[in-house]
Chain A
């Protein structure tokens, strides 16, 4: 027992004797071993396909062309940057992600604040509010595109008809807006739960001190609550963005990327190139560009969060 603790303390300082070194190595492996299954599994299942994607992206490979595959270096990349549909899909990806994350964060924060007090039926209200997150996105897509947004019998069109607007054929006139609306509805509960956890983790004495000092609700929220919520908000934005940027179901099932390619995002356009256009090389190159862009943006965001991690640890 005592030697083990000693070795652990001495780790990194360079153990002196061979026995100590062996013990340190054994100690190192006993630490690493539990991690390895998960790490190796993840590396195999995610990195091998990605390496193959990079390989494919350097080749001209269209299943519809009889001439087979050839190595073309970076021609696929040159081509996709000249492809206006690709640029449009990239812009749509950004619009959908920013729009959805921002709107659902605002709405989720509002709901979280409303839920962070005692009132009659609070449990029921919370249950109602989290439900959209639990509903299968394929069902959500159907629900919004048909039940809610259909121009003749959709519920939303009936509601806006009551105040004299419409009817609007949402999914063909405002495809991007329709998709974002369905996504905001789905992701607001996720944001709400995270912010709610942040609100409930607030030390009560700080809030009482603020109210003793005569700070009103608005001031307390702005100067006490909001700074403490920062990490929760960062985490909500990061996780929300990771999932929303990959949105496929709603676009495939609500608008099919249309009309034309007006609402196609990168995942949907890559899917189209690969499984409908059979252009493997092009699709792979788009995938690689998407990954690089995502990782650059996310690394930036993640390092910010990690900074606040490190301070705490």
Chain B
């Protein structure tokens, strides 16, 4: 523990944390520290192994993919990816893109003003409203699927991607309101008072002062919405058929109709997951912030 107090200089491997890099707290350079680092790496690799295995399998031929014992050395092929793409995957990806993209935009458009009303100039009964929003998340989706199915049928919007847009918006809105509220609460009140002194109205204050300040929070919220919408399966399974089916439905189709074509299935899974995985990797810090809801304020 003694080293902690004397060394404010970061360890040589401290990269990757950007401006928020902190001074090392624990025995970093010591033998114990090195051992801990090795242990961390090992655990991470074990935890990541299923993903690695999926990606590896997707580059195998089918007979190598389903061999006993597992094949570790093989000649990689792109055959499976070509097969998956040849299966007319395009419309599924387009539907997912619309459902995810539009619903995320809608969520942000609705959540930002709502969060403003719940934090900067709070309405009465703020905590009741917040509780109402989160309580809709406790409504199991299966409990409302029959009425939604019936209503969609009557409105002739079954197998329609815009139905998914509406449902995904309502699915993510409560969490988004909560997240955005906590980000708004981090804005110092002096900044808002200054804007008001300058005579800025609501829209002006939002546009030129608040939104730029909470932009990272908006990005974090949007990322969470994208993850949950892109991966959503239950509504898509029950409310879409040929026209509006999304990527998870496509994946399930590959799984059930083809039997066990493991390598092809892996390739389809990699393709289906890739957009969200890449987005999440690129915006990790926003993800950390988003999930911690602005430090649980």
Contact = CB atoms under 8 A, between A and B. Distances in A.
Interface string A32-63: 11110111011001101110110010000000
Given A48-B147, A198-B292, A119 B233 contact: no
Contact of A208 (B4, B117, B167, B230): B4
B79 interface: no
A197 B291 contact: yes
Contact of A158 (B70, B141, B234): B70
Nearest to B293: A235
Interface stretch (A14-22, A68-76, A243-251): A243-251
A148 B150 contact: no
Contacts of B231: 136-138
Which of B17, B138, B255, B289 has most chain A Cβ within 10 Å?
B138
B37 interface: yes
Contacts of B276: 134-136
Nearest to B228: A243
Given A45-B170, A119-B28, A248-B142, A275 B44 contact: no
Contacts of A299: 135
A123 B16 contact: yes
A34 B114 contact: yes
A294 to B, nearest CB: 5
Interface stretch (A80-88, A170-178, A264-272): A264-272
Given A35-B114, A190-B291, A291-B143, A1 B197 contact: yes
A284 B146 contact: yes
A93 to B, nearest CB: 9
B138 A132 contact: no
B204 to A, nearest CB: 14
Contacts of A286: 143
Given A143-B54, A185-B50, A248-B233, A294 B140 contact: yes
Contact of A142 (B68, B121, B123, B269): B269
B87 interface: no
Given A32-B117, A119-B11, A131 B277 contact: yes
A156 B284 CA distance: 29
A17 B122 CA distance: 24
Contacts of A188: 47
Nearest to B122: A31
B39 to A, nearest CB: 7
B138 A37 contact: no
A143 B234 contact: no
Interface in B46-73: 47-51, 53-54, 57, 65-70
A45 B1 CA distance: 56
Contacts of A274: 142, 145-146
Contacts of B15: 123
Interface of B: 1, 4-5, 10-17, 21-26, 28, 33, 36-37, 39-41, 43-45, 47-51, 53-54, 57, 65-70, 110-111, 113-114, 116-118, 121-124, 127, 129, 131-148, 150-151, 166-167, 169-170, 173-175, 177, 196-197, 199, 202, 227, 230-231, 233-234, 237-238, 247-248, 251-252, 255, 260, 262, 265-266, 269-270, 272-273, 276-277, 279-281, 284, 287-289, 291-293, 295-297
> What 10 A-B pairs come out closest when comparing CB atoms?
A123-B16, A197-B292, A287-B143, A34-B113, A139-B269, A120-B13, A52-B147, A35-B117, A38-B114, A49-B147
Given A35-B114, A242-B138, 4 more contacts: A185-B47, A217-B26, A248-B233, A249-B234
11 contacts: A31-B121, A41-B170, A46-B170, A53-B147, A114-B36, A129-B47, A134-B279, A136-B273, A147-B57, A193-B288, A290-B140
